[in-house]
Homo-oligomer: A and B are copies of this chain.
């Protein structure tokens, strides 16, 4: 598989592309929470341990730009914004689920091997 370009960026292989879409510390946790519900910014913020405003905002923006989530802003005060998965987001959730299950199995094995 030769190098290729996606959205103007060079990638060396398909795995690298996927990793850039859902990799990093925060994207999977965000998508996971939107799996079957719409959530407000503040709800995500409270529900994802350790995340900061900066990280939550930037990752939400990237996920939106990449087409995985949609953002609905209500013109009210104080502000209200709702995030939810797009069709594309629902598709990639399946992959995340697979990866997640693999991770869970790893943890299990580790648990069982330390008596």
Of B13, B25, B102, which is within 8 A of A18 by CB?
A: B102
The answer on a CB contact under 8 Å between A98 and B100 is: no
The answer on a CB contact under 8 Å between A95 and B106 is: no
Assuming A6-B107, A6-B110, A23-B23, is B50 touching A15 (CB within 8 A)?
Answer: no
The answer on a CB contact under 8 Å between A100 and B49 is: no
Copies in the assembly, this chain: 2
CB distance from A80 to the nearest CB of B (A): 27
Give chain A's interface residues, CB within 8 Å of chain B: 2-4, 6-7, 12-19, 21, 23, 25, 28-29, 32, 49-50, 92, 95-96, 98-104, 106-107, 110
Q: Can you sample 27 A-B contacts with CB below 8 Å? A: A6-B107, A7-B110, A12-B25, A12-B49, A12-B50, A13-B28, A13-B103, A14-B99, A14-B100, A14-B104, A14-B107, A15-B28, A15-B29, A15-B32, A15-B96, A15-B99, A16-B28, A17-B103, A18-B99, A18-B100, A19-B19, A19-B23, A23-B23, A95-B98, A95-B99, A95-B102, A99-B99
